[in-house]
Amino acid sequence: MISILIIVPYPEMQEKVESILAQHPPGEGLRIRTETHPVEDTEGIDLSPYDAVIARGYTASNIGSRHPDKPVIRLNVSGYDIIRALVECRDRYAPEKIAVFGFPQHLLEVQGLSEALSVRTEIYRSTDPGDLPAMVRQAISDGCDALIGGYSANMAAARAGIPSVIVRTGEEAVNLALEVAVRTVERVRAERITSQMYKTVIYSSREGILYVDSSGIIRVRNHLVRRMNGDRSLMNRSLKDVLPYLDEPFQAVLATRQEVEGRVLKIPATGLTVSVSLRPVMLETQVAGVVVTFSDITEIQRLEGQIRRKLHEHGLQARYRFDDILHTSDVMDRTIGTAAKYAVTNANVILIGETGTGKELFAQSIHQASRRSKGPFVAINCAALPENLLESELFGYAEGAFTGASKGGKMGLFEQAHGGTLFLDEIEEIPLPTQTKLLRVLQERQVRRIGDRRVIDIDVRIIAATNVSIRQLCESGRFRRDLMYRLDVLRLYIPPLRERGADTEMLFRKLLERECAHSGLAVPRIDEDAVALLRTYPFSGNIRELQNIIERICAVSSGGSLSPEDLSAVLFPKDLEPFPAAEPGSLLPGLAPSSAGRDDPMPGSAPVSPSEEMPGSERDRIVQALAACGGRRGEAAARLGFDRTTLWRKMRKYGL
């Protein structure tokens, strides 16, 4: 809502303005009030409810001088208004010479209008109503026998006994003044919002902020920068005098027009160590001033700790506990018991097990049972990212560290896991250069973001996981032995499903019930012969493969019972035979379960010795799956219980 007060000098004019407003009602959101006040009666008017004031002549000047922060819009006199007054004065009084009183800006057209109307005029300019009596006497002395002007001039003329005509404001001037008033109020409001926004930004900042103009005078400062400098008075003082330690970088910014970023300085007045940045404010090609920001290094570290806690609160949490691990077998009892003992220590743990055995489930359970359970649990699959992305994810990066780096930089996973646990899955896939950096972080308990000089202290427990022998990788030169010793402090072997006895049937039934409930299906009855078939299935993909099989059953099940034939169709779905062009004795061109694959490795991969193969002839199982699927990797990966990335990586490993 915009509220405007129109002040007029006499009642007749108030009636006219109100008539104009009645013909053109103000729009929604605009409130207008009209009051009559002579110029000498304006001091007591309460202007606080109004956004702007519209007034004529001396009244406008009087209010403007007493209320400099209140927009005052002049109700100007137009050329038509002066013509009407001259014609009325000529026709009514037939004067020899007319005195024209008014403000200079109103009288520019009078000379030309007088000649057009064939009247003689003399112009008298005034900005102070106190001058009017003397000016009227002067006009009479100059031969003027009539007068036109504002209300105050007419009152002075009446007292002097000379006839006069009021220059009345026309409808056009009233409408124009209203338009100007509305635009002025809107502009003033926008400027106030902008000013308040900048003020709020500056004073709510957790950094000390100065603005120094090009002459070296401090024009803006917030309270924080004042406290940092010993509560000294800084406003409108010379930077060189009050903060001399900033003069050298300030002069450098003026000279080079380039910012100075992250300079570490000690403030002499308080002994506080701060990071100071100076940025030029450019006006076209010239430096208009310099913005200086102060960051308390201790405060930065405290805020980073808060950010870490917030990240923990927003999802970096473990969901599973040891109670969530479904089992009935003694071997799993012993495994969980060992893991629980590991949980109460602070040593790093390495989980060893085949794909799909539930290594992350154990990692989360260990975290939940540890003293770090209230801290974050951060997980990453080291095989899922290329080397450059893996490094930036683990260690983070500073702003501008590389092309495309996020503004402000990025916190790495080590920082996010501060006070908690970092789970590194498929640890064997970390490239050797990154292994070197990882080793240093584990040794120093400090991390340095890519492109940054600052080191950040961290407190992180590492749980690593692998499905290959780390020691064999070390012997082949693919894994650093010193890193292995850092990670392989507490080792936990997670048995595959085929070693868990009755767990297979129990898990099958539990997971089938869960999936049927989720899908809204009736749980089928399982024939005993089907259970026997289930016991003989190898489950090379372990629990992950078991889950895939159950989803397949729910997709094709029509309820009732699950026969051996039904289960067999799900366990061994039909597929294409191997390529007809395959050589006798081989499964696929270029794929053989013998040493032929190792004698002719894929380009760029190192030959694999028999000692590097996984227990259970994993290489042979991959070859057989690829053969059974006609070389289609997606189907072979599903049959093995892998994802496509894992299958591709293992094919490279075994030279397929």
pLDDT digits (tens, 9 = 90+) for 534-582: 888 888 889 989 999 999 888 887 767 888 888 888 888 776 554 443 3
pLDDT digits (tens, 9 = 90+) for 491-522: 999 999 999 999 999 999 999 999 988 888 88
pLDDT digits (tens, 9 = 90+) for 535-547: 888 888 899 899 9
Q: What span, in angstroms and rounded, lies between the C-alpha atoms of 98 and 119?
A: 8
Task: Please give the helix or strand (H or E) that residue 648 lies within, else none.
Answer: helix 644-653
Residue matched to tokens 């893991």: 339
What mean pLDDT is predicted for residues 222-232? 87
Mean pLDDT score across all residues of the chain: 83
pLDDT digits (tens, 9 = 90+) for 60-119: 888 888 888 888 888 877 778 888 889 999 999 999 999 998 755 556 667 777 877 888
Asked if CATH classification 1.10.10.410 holds for the domain at 497-571, the reply, yes or no, is no
What mean pLDDT is predicted for residues 405-413? 75
β-bridge partners, 266: 273
For 151, the 3-state DSSP assignment is helix
> Quick one: which of 269, 332, 308 has its CA closest to 492?
332
What mean pLDDT is predicted for residues 21-33? 79
Evaluated on CA atoms 192, 197, 203, 208, the torsion sign reads negative
What mean pLDDT is predicted for residues 582-608? 38
The pair of structure tokens assigned to 309 is 């806690």
Note the pTM of the prediction, 2 decimals: 0.48
For 134, the 3-state DSSP assignment is helix
Burial tier of 179 (Cβ tally within 10 Å: 0-12, 13-18, 19+): exposed
Q: Could you give the residue range(s) of every CATH 3.40.50.2300 domain in the chain? A: 2-76+173-188
pLDDT digits (tens, 9 = 90+) for 161-173: 999 998 888 777 8
Q: What span, in angstroms and rounded, lies between the C-alpha atoms of 40 and 643?
A: 90
pLDDT digits (tens, 9 = 90+) for 457-477: 889 999 999 998 888 889 988
Q: For domain 2-76+173-188, which architecture applies?
A: 3-Layer(aba) Sandwich (3.40)
Q: What percent of the chain has pLDDT over 70?
A: 88
Task: Output the pLDDT for position 603.
Answer: 35
Residue matched to tokens 């519209």: 54
Q: Is the pLDDT of residue 616 over 60?
A: no
592 pLDDT band (50/70/90 cuts)?
very low
Q: Answer yes or no: are the C-beta atoms of 449 and 398 closer than 8 Å.
A: yes
Task: Output the pLDDT for position 412.
Answer: 87
**Which residues, at least 6 apart from 543, have a Cβ–Cβ distance to it below 8 Å?**
356, 357, 358, 497, 507
DSSP one-letter string for 468-523:
S-HHHHHHTTSS-HHHHHHHTTEEEE---GGGSTTHHHHHHHHHHHHHHHHHT-PP
Q: Is the pLDDT of residue 585 over 50?
A: no
> Quick one: which of 271, 193, 178 has its CA closest to 230?
271
Q: Could you give the residue range(s) of every CATH 3.40.50.300 domain in the chain? A: 315-493
Q: What span, in angstroms and rounded, lies between the C-alpha atoms of 258 and 231?
A: 30
pLDDT digits (tens, 9 = 90+) for 240-293: 999 999 999 999 999 999 988 888 888 888 888 888 899 999 988 889 999 999
For 592, the 3-state DSSP assignment is coil
638 pLDDT band (50/70/90 cuts)?
confident
What count of other Cβ atoms lies within 10 Å of the Cβ of residue 446? 13
Q: Is the pLDDT of residue 217 over 90?
A: yes
Task: Output the pLDDT for position 308.
Answer: 53
Question: Which of 176 and 206 is assigned the larger pLDDT?
Answer: 176
Q: Is the pLDDT of residue 375 over 50?
A: yes
Q: Is the pLDDT of residue 608 over 70?
A: no
345 pLDDT band (50/70/90 cuts)?
very high
CATH class of the structural domain 315-493: alpha beta
User: Which stretch of 129-138, 401-410, 412-421 has the lowest confidence by average pLDDT?
Assistant: 401-410
What are phi and psi for residue 555, nearest 5 degrees? -70, -35
Task: Output the pLDDT for position 95.
Answer: 93
Q: Answer yes or no: are the C-beta atoms of 261 and 275 closer than 8 Å.
A: no
Task: Output the pLDDT for position 301.
Answer: 57
Q: Could you give the residue range(s) of every CATH 3.30.450.20 domain in the chain? A: 205-299
Task: Output the pLDDT for position 325.
Answer: 94
CATH class of the structural domain 79-168: alpha beta
Q: What percent of the chain has pLDDT over 90?
A: 33
526 pLDDT band (50/70/90 cuts)?
confident
Q: Could you give the residue range(s) of every CATH 1.10.8.60 domain in the chain? A: 497-571
What mean pLDDT is predicted for residues 361-377? 93
β-bridge partners, 462: 422
Beta strands in 37-102 (DSSP E): 52-55, 72-74, 98-102
> Tell me, which fold does domain 205-299 have in CATH?
Beta-Lactamase (3.30.450)
What mean pLDDT is predicted for residues 218-238? 89
Q: What span, in angstroms and rounded, lies between the C-alpha atoms of 506 and 474?
A: 38
Q: What span, in angstroms and rounded, lies between the C-alpha atoms of 229 and 268?
A: 8
> Quick one: which of 396, 496, 504 has its CA closest to 456?
396
Q: Is the pLDDT of residue 586 over 70?
A: no
Task: Output the pLDDT for position 316.
Answer: 66
607 pLDDT band (50/70/90 cuts)?
very low
Distances (CA, A) of 259 to 32, 245, 254, 282, 398: 51, 17, 9, 11, 17
Task: Output the pLDDT for position 138.
Answer: 93
